A and B are shown apart, each in its own frame.
Chain A
Amino acid sequence: MKRRLMVLLGLLVVASLVLSACAPAPGGGAPAAEEPAAEAPAAAEQPSSGLGDLPRNETLIADILTGRVGSPDDFNNWVGWKWRDRGMQNLANEPLWSVDFATGEIINGLASGDPVYNDDFTQVTIPLREGVTWSDGEPFTSADVVFTVETLMAHEGFGDNTFFVENVKSVSAPDEYTVAFELNQPNSRFHTKFLDRWGCTWIMPKHIWESVEDPVTFKFNPFVGTGPYKLHSFDPSGFWTIWEKRADWDKSPTGMMFGEPKPTYIVFQNFADEGAKILAQLTHQADVLGVSSDGLQAVLQQCDTCRAYRRDWPYVVNNDPAQTGITFNTAKAPYDSKDVRWALLLAIDIADYMGIAVDGTGALSPVHIPSLSNYPDDFIKPMIPWLEEFTLDIGNGETFQPFDVNASQRIVEYAKGRGHEVSDDPAELGNLFGYGWYKYAPDVAEKLLVKNGFSKNADGKWLLPDGTPWQIACLSGTQAVNHDFRNCAAAVQAWKRFGIDASQYPSEANSSLNATGDFDVSGNWPAQEPWGAGPDLYRVLDWWNSGYIKPLGETTSGHPSRWSSPEMDAVIEKLRNTDPTDYQAVVDVGIEGLKIAIEEMPGIPTYGYVGFVTWDEQYWTNWPGAENPYTQPYTHWGPFKYMTPFLEPTGAE
């Protein structure tokens, strides 16, 4: 009896110790506890209505591309990553300008026209749209823009702080609807900082931010913007955010330009798994989804009211302005040799490659920009004669012309072999499959390698010049449906068949490893994504600037390939001094840059990013499909707000 008593006593002691230790812990102690406590009343004030209260046929439900929101009560997009595609950039915020890659247009948002530079690009004035109000009713004026830039320059915690401090000497408002910048040094592309291509610098409402003590930690909840929608409510766990059409939608640039948005409510919802996401659409609980290739097939098979971007095969969105492919780490041997890089390219049978990567659904591009928008007409087609003449020196006095104008036709044959119906219209074929690529020439690849001291062992496996086996690990992310993984998978198959010990190296640290150069070959895009509209390739070429390269192990500011050349530097310099509004001049400099990139091949451009969008027409129709691409088709891009006035409700119950 005595013993048991002792045990109980001991337990009591422990329990009380545990309790006293535990009690402050969940609250997080004194300093941390203040934050949630201060936010709690704000959350409680929100109307707590379920979707039962939102009429389904006036509500549009889309998924969040970048996943569950980690900090749902924080809308301060000027600091760090805030999941801005949950409705912030695509509904509630209006930028000065937006890129629409489907139409190739630059859409004026808060700006009313193009920026005007002086002759040496040290001054720029921007005209602003009149009559716009913030979603809380206050008017938008040039004072907001000036305030934004000055605030960003005053606090180091803002992501854009360095850019503005380095570039801006002064900013002023000559009148209510004009902003004028004095720049520290000539910069002909200063205004692109405000051009929304999946993100840019947004304008802050001065009347809210001017009274904020610490703008870096300010949560900006609720979000106040000039877009046609305003915040309705959000899930504290980050699974959904609901936006409501502004009563004064006609005071937003969207309303002024395109009329009244149709959905009263727009829900951005996250699904942690693609399976459940698809089931939600099959049961009409989601209107627009981004899915995988096979997910798209599953939806089309089982949902009568669902459609894809294209009504027929290949169904996919192939006008996303990103060129996928393979990146070589040119700071590491043997990938520092352009012959080796070209050999690895020629070891690829592009028809096989495309079959493995995307079942033949992508558009090929032989250059480092995708085959979409104005790019084929401005760049790719004019470059074809040069490409056909382009010659490689493969040793022993032999030469080889690698370009194959019929490569795209081989993809068409692959698709027909898979039983798909493919149109015979050459214009449509060019649009779907591109305008040629490179020959499959393992024999030439072999000569190039032998020329550089490589050899094959008795088993037919390649050895490096120092006699050790050649191993390639292709670095990518871990999602098998993403294009960096697809490109690696296809390249690994091609190189294995060529006799190299190649393997896939998926890693969660993918982006960091790319940035620090801790890889040989990766599925990273072979060049920086272009704007997706207009003739300017500055965004692509400047990433190969030699000034950005850091030693291996440090984060590079340029492209992960760490490739540069004096010739390319000269082209970049030339582009900097070219007026961005002089169309043909900008195109010509761009072509010069692309030619250098082809000769040096720092990365292999393969196919343009293939997107998979499914639309349910149960509640909403008139989606911007391939037959009527009035705007870009995604809900996560900024111009989604310009799609909302064109959607048609079906009124279905």
Chain B
Amino acid sequence: MFVRRYLIPRFIQYILVIFVGITAVFFIPRLLPNDPVLRTISELRARGATLEPGAMDKIIADLTQMYGLEGSMLDQYGAFWARLLRGDLGVSFFQFPTPVSALIGTALPWTAGLLLTTTILAWVIGNVLGAFAGYYSASRWSQGIDAVAMVIRPMPYYIFAFALLLLFAYAIRWFPVSGGAKLGMQPSYSWPFIQSVLWHSFLPALSIVILGMAVWFQTMKLVVQSVVGESYVQYARLGGVTERKIVTRYVFRNALLPQITGLALSLGLIFSGALITEIVFSYPGLGTLLYRAIINGDYNLIMGITVFSIFAITTIVLIVDLLYPLFDPRIRYS
């Protein structure tokens, strides 16, 4: 019953969303004025190569062929799916002939490591603080934190991150100015390397956690405040249910629902990287990779990163949808 009436349609939807998302990202870059072949030629020319008129046509033809951009857009689209289903993401145009999977493979651990940690940390701390602040919304400390969050939240991230850098890498020299690990160090699973990575990612992580926390805190606080006013909470209280039980069973549990969707989406968004963080702290990751791919019209690289991202978000949303009944017994799939 459940499988036929809910799971199967939901799963079809899951596949369809992935399909539509990937299709959209396939076509939109190809409508932009950024032509990868022209981009490559301009780059070479800007670097001092003179190209004869006859040579130009030939180079354009060669590059078009090398990049697999021959034929109509539909032909390319078909070829793209044929390749993708074989698990081949193709080669990057701008970093020719580096395979897209190699580029993503280098950047992904940095992004995943930094953003998974910070997203979850910000979510947990922000929600715990927000929940208490919402429950005890009249107290002084609750309003104090709210005031701090209110000022931090609208801070432009770039400025906030740079201020941290200025403070902790220049004024007090506790943390490094830039990079993902010490200069000259090769990635490995050795302790000195991990230590170096932790030390280098502290400021980037701090900047993301603080700003993220402020957002989760304020949202959670408002939701809890509204749940506390719900009739069932009032009834529970009148019915003599212990305070502890009210808080955990009735208030937090209900308030958490929208926050879980939020967390799921933030986790999914990890795969497009944290561009400004990577810029301010010269941190390796997917954000810069994607941004540069967009600017250079590097279709295969755009597609490679996006396929990951789309897959991650859809899957997480699907899981959350299926988990919902476990959190909220009132929702039934019928």
Contacts and interface: CB of A to CB of B under 8 A. Distances in A.
Question: Are any A and B Cβ atoms less than 8 Å apart in their complex?
Answer: yes
A53 B184 contact: yes
A31 B97 CA distance: 13
Interface in A279-320: 279-280, 282-283, 285
B100 A3 contact: no
B98 A70 contact: yes
A554 B113 CA distance: 45
Interface stretch (B104-112, B129-137, B230-238, B260-268): B104-112
| Most chain A CB within a 10 A radius of its CB, from B45, B108, B196, B283 | B45
A416 B35 CA distance: 46
Interface stretch (B146-154, B215-223, B249-257, B322-330): B322-330
Contact of B177 (A28, A163, A276, A529): A276
Interface in A213-254: 216-217, 233, 236-240, 242
Given A53-B184, A68-B288, A511-B39, A555 B56 contact: yes
B38 A515 contact: yes
B308 interface: yes
Contacts of B307: 25
A256 interface: no
A173 interface: no
Given A236-B187, A547-B53, A159 B44 contact: yes
A407 to B, nearest CB: 30
Contacts of B184: 49-54, 233, 240, 242, 267
Nearest to B63: A80
A270 B288 CA distance: 13
Nearest to A39: B102
| Most chain A CB within a 10 A radius of its CB, from B53, B66, B187 | B53
A641 interface: no
Interface stretch (A6-14, A331-339, A353-361, A612-620): A6-14
B41 interface: yes
B325 A4 contact: yes
A25 B90 CA distance: 12
Contacts of A84: 47
Given A50-B184, A70-B94, A515-B38, A557 B105 contact: no
Interface in B262-283: 278-283
Interface residues of A, number: 97
B318 A14 contact: yes
Given A70-B292, A162-B58, A239 B49 contact: no
Main secondary structure on B side of the interface with A: helix
A198 interface: yes
Interface stretch (B73-81, B117-125, B164-172, B206-214): B164-172
B95 A157 contact: no
B135 to A, nearest CB: 29
Contacts of B41: 515, 555
Contacts, number: 260
Interface string B178-212: 11101111111010110010000000000000000
| Most chain A CB within a 10 A radius of its CB, from B110, B182, B185, B332 | B185
Contact of A30 (B34, B49, B86): B86
A200 B319 CA distance: 55
A529 B44 CA distance: 14
Contacts of B323: 7, 11
A37 B2 CA distance: 45
B33 A509 contact: yes
B281 A31 contact: no
A30 B85 CA distance: 12
A72 B51 CA distance: 26
Contact of A26 (B43, B105, B281): B105
B70 interface: no
A84 B47 CA distance: 10
A271 B105 CA distance: 22
B105 A511 contact: no
Interface in A489-529: 507-509, 511-516, 518, 529
A285 B173 CA distance: 12
Given A43-B186, A48-B185, A70-B94, A32 B177 contact: no
Nearest to A236: B106
A514 B41 CA distance: 12
B50 A539 contact: yes
Given A26-B101, A240-B183, A509-B34, 20 more contacts: A28-B89, A28-B104, A29-B86, A30-B88, A36-B101, A43-B186, A70-B95, A70-B292, A162-B51, A162-B59, A166-B55, A233-B184, A237-B106, A237-B107, A269-B183, A283-B173, A511-B46, A512-B33, A514-B42, A555-B41
24 contacts: A6-B3, A10-B2, A13-B7, A22-B311, A26-B101, A27-B87, A27-B105, A28-B89, A28-B102, A28-B105, A32-B99, A36-B99, A51-B182, A162-B51, A166-B52, A237-B107, A272-B279, A272-B281, A273-B282, A509-B32, A511-B38, A512-B39, A514-B42, A555-B60
Interface of A: 3-4, 6-7, 10-11, 13-15, 18, 21-22, 24-33, 35-36, 43-44, 46, 48-54, 61, 68, 70-71, 74, 79-81, 84, 156-157, 159-160, 162-163, 166, 197-200, 216-217, 233, 236-240, 242, 267, 269-273, 275-277, 279-280, 282-283, 285, 507-509, 511-516, 518, 529, 539, 542-543, 547-548, 550, 555, 557-558
Interface of B: 2-3, 6-7, 11, 32-35, 38-56, 58-60, 62, 66, 86-90, 92, 94-108, 110, 162, 165-166, 169-170, 173, 177-180, 182-188, 190, 192-193, 196, 278-284, 288, 292, 294-295, 307-308, 311, 315, 318-319, 322-323, 325-326, 332
